[in-house]
Amino acid sequence: MINMSQITLNADQIRNPKMENKKLNIAVLHGDGIGPEIVEQALNVTKAVCQKFGYSLNYEYGIVGACAIDATGEPYPKATHELCMKSDAVLFGAIGDPKYDNDPSAKVRPEQGLLKMRKDLGLFANIRPVSTFPSLIHKSPLRADLVEGADFMCIRELTGGMYFGRPQGRSEDGNTAYDTCIYTREEVERILHLAYKYALQRKKKVTVVDKANVLATSRLWRQIAQEIAPQYPDVETEFMFVDNAAMRIIQWPKSFDVLVTENLFGDILTDEASVITGSMGMLPSASIGIHTSVFEPIHGSYPQAAGKNIANPVATILSVALMFEYAFGMIEEGALIRAAVAASLDAGVVTEDIATDGKLYKTSEVGEWIVDYISK
C-alpha cells in the first residue's frame, strides 16, 4: 500500500510553519571533485541564514563516492548512512572520479554509492525546479523570447527503472550486455501522486512523460496515470512521449508546469532542461522520500576544476534554499537565499562559466558575496 501520509508530508512541507525548536541538524557530504569547494560555500550560506534568523545549526561530515572508496573500500559506507539517517537533511556535493570513469572493469564505482544512498534512504523523487534569471537570459542557447519566464518543475522517479533493475550485466564472453527496466504499481503511484500534489500548488498542469508506444513499463505508467488523474479534477493532465518532450523543452519550455517521468528519462531530460537557464551550474535539486531528504546541485564532480576555486557554487547554494523550504518548512529563508543569488548575478559577481564582461570571481568570492548580502 502507498503511504499517502508520507507523500502528503513531502509535497506540502513548504507550507509548514517554522520548526518550533529552531534547531537544524544536517549531514554534510562533500563527495568528489569540486564537491568540497561548492559545498563549503553552501554551508557558509546555511550558517549565515541560521545566524540571521536565530537558529541553532549542528552539522557533521560524511564521505561518499570515490573518496569513500579510497578510505573504506565502499562508495557509501555504513557510517555515512547512519549519519544521514539521524540528520534532518543532507547537503550533498557530487561524485565521480576519472580513475573510475576510465576503467570499465572497476568492480566498485563512485556512482554505486549515489544509487545506494538513494535506495537506502528511500529517496524515490528527485525535484528539479527549472527557472531563468533575467540577468542570464543572454547566456541561454535559446532565443530570449523562448526562455524568458520559463518556470517548471521536473519530478524524476529515483529508485526504480533501469538503474536498479535486475538482471543486469554482461555475458561470459563480454560481447553482450543487458539492463532490465522494472517498475511496480506502488513505485509509479507514489511518484504520480507527488506530482499532482505539487501541481496543485503551482499552475495545475501535469505532463506525464513516457514511451508507451514501445515500452511495457511506460504503458504501465500511462495506465496508472489515467487511473489517478480523475482524483485531481483541478489539474490538467497531458501525456507525452519522451522524444517529443525532449523537443518541446527546446521549442516551448514555457508550456510545462510539472513534468513527471521515470528514472532514465528524467536523468536525461533534466540535464537538457538545465542548459536553457544559461549554465548547468545554476540548477539545484531536492531528493525526497521515506527518510532523510538530500539536497544537491544537478551537475557532476567536474574533476578538471577540482581545487582551482573556479566552479560555480550557485546550484549548491540554491539547493540550500530548497533545504530550508522542503526539509524545514522555512519559506522566508529560502526566498532570502534566492534574492541573494539574484542580486549577485545582477551585480556581475559570477564565476567564469556565466561571466560575459568584467571581473571573473572565484568560487569562494561568490560565496562570500552572497553570505554578506544575507547577513546585512
Which residues are known to be catalytic? 163, 211, 243, 267, 271
* Length of the chain counted residue by residue: 376
Between CA 183 and CA 265 the distance in angstroms is 13
Dihedral class, residue 63 (left if φ above 0, else alpha if ψ from -120 to 50, else beta)? beta
DSSP string of 157-171, one letter each residue: E-SSGGGT-SS-EE-
**Residues facing residue 205 across a β-bridge:** 236
Cell 528511500 maps to which residue? 122
**Residues facing residue 24 across a β-bridge:** 57
Determine whether 339 is exposed, middle or buried from the number of CB atoms within 10 Å of its CB (0-12, 13-18, 19+).
Answer: middle
Q: Where are the beta strands (DSSP E) in the chain?
A: 23-31, 56-62, 89-94, 125-131, 151-157, 169-170, 177-178, 205-210, 236-241, 258-261, 284-288, 293-297
Distances (CA, A) of 137 to 63, 134, 141, 257, 276: 36, 5, 9, 19, 9
Cell, residue 306: 577540482
Cell, residue 294: 538530500
Between CA 306 and CA 145 the distance in angstroms is 36
Side chain identity at residue 56, one-letter code: S
Determine whether 213 is exposed, middle or buried from the number of CB atoms within 10 Å of its CB (0-12, 13-18, 19+).
Answer: exposed
User: End-to-end alpha-carbon separation of the chain, Å?
Assistant: 49
